[in-house]
Amino acid sequence: MRTLLAVTMKDLRLHARDARFLATLALFSASLVLILSVAFGPIFNDPAREASATLWAALFFAGVLGLTRALDLESESGGGDALRLTGADPYALYLGKTLANLILISADFLLLLPLVSIFFDVGNLVVLPGVLGVAALGLVGYAAWGTLFAALAKGLRARELLLSVVLFPSLVPLWIGAVKLTNALWGDGSIDPVRDWIKVLAVMDVLGLAMAAFLYELIQEATE
């Protein structure tokens, strides 16, 4: 637990010092929401569906930027190498990084949620707990898989492109499930017709964390 928290705090401190990137990430996410809100309007005329797809698309794209920037910051600081040299449990290192990435993408979610609600005129306080629950399931899975694939892309050129190519197809079930559940909540307020997607999100979360338990150390050794 001590290693996990130490890694999380280290990564968060590095991000906090990089205010310019955080501002850029927020601006990118907000701009993407604005552009898609304008583009979707004349096409589907289905605010709940458009808002759900926009929210999760913006989060996924912004998440890649956050993951790759975390790699850059760790490489520049050398903090990750120092922790590995102490003999810390590799899975604890992974969980610490996953938690830091989860906090970062969750902050982006909290920024985008009111923007999406305003631009698409969807959502209300009644369904807000459900939307937050879906977000928790979706973002945990995204952080778990994203951190694992980011470790695989470490040290490679054009890692943003590689990470996108590998990560997005792997997370198609997660994205579809999150969009469908959010759409249902913002639509008629009931998830009963799409309730099975909760199981899909939960399985993706557990699978990502479980795979990291077996693969993260091997990936670290292969990329050193």
pLDDT digits (tens, 9 = 90+) for 29-57: 999 999 988 887 656 678 899 999 999 99
Q: Beta-carbon neighbour count of residue 212 at 10 Å?
A: 22
As a whole number of angstroms, the distance between CA 109 and CA 224 comes to 33
φ and ψ at 46, to 5 degrees?
Answer: -135, 85
Nearest to 212 by CA among 137, 139, 146: 146
Percent above pLDDT 70 for the chain: 89
As a whole number of angstroms, the distance between CA 58 and CA 112 comes to 8
Instruction: Report the first-to-last Cα separation within the chain, whole angstroms.
Output: 25
| All structural domains of the chain with their residue ranges | 2-223
| Between 148 and 153, residue with greater pLDDT | 148
Mean pLDDT of all residues in 153-166: 75
Global pTM value: 0.92
Q: What is the pLDDT of residue 87?
A: 64
Q: What is the pLDDT of residue 81?
A: 59
| Residue located via tokens 């091997």 | 218
For 53-66, what is each residue's pLDDT tens digit?
999 999 999 999 99
Is the separation of the CB atoms in 205 and 69 below 8 Å? no
Q: What is the pLDDT of residue 103?
A: 96
Lowest mean pLDDT among 67-71, 91-95, 136-140, 141-145: 67-71
| Between 120 and 159, residue with greater pLDDT | 120
Give the DSSP letter string of 18-86.
-HHHHHHHHHHHHHHHHHHHHHHHHHH--HHHHHHHHHHHHHHHHHHHHHHHHHHHHHHH-HHHHHHHT
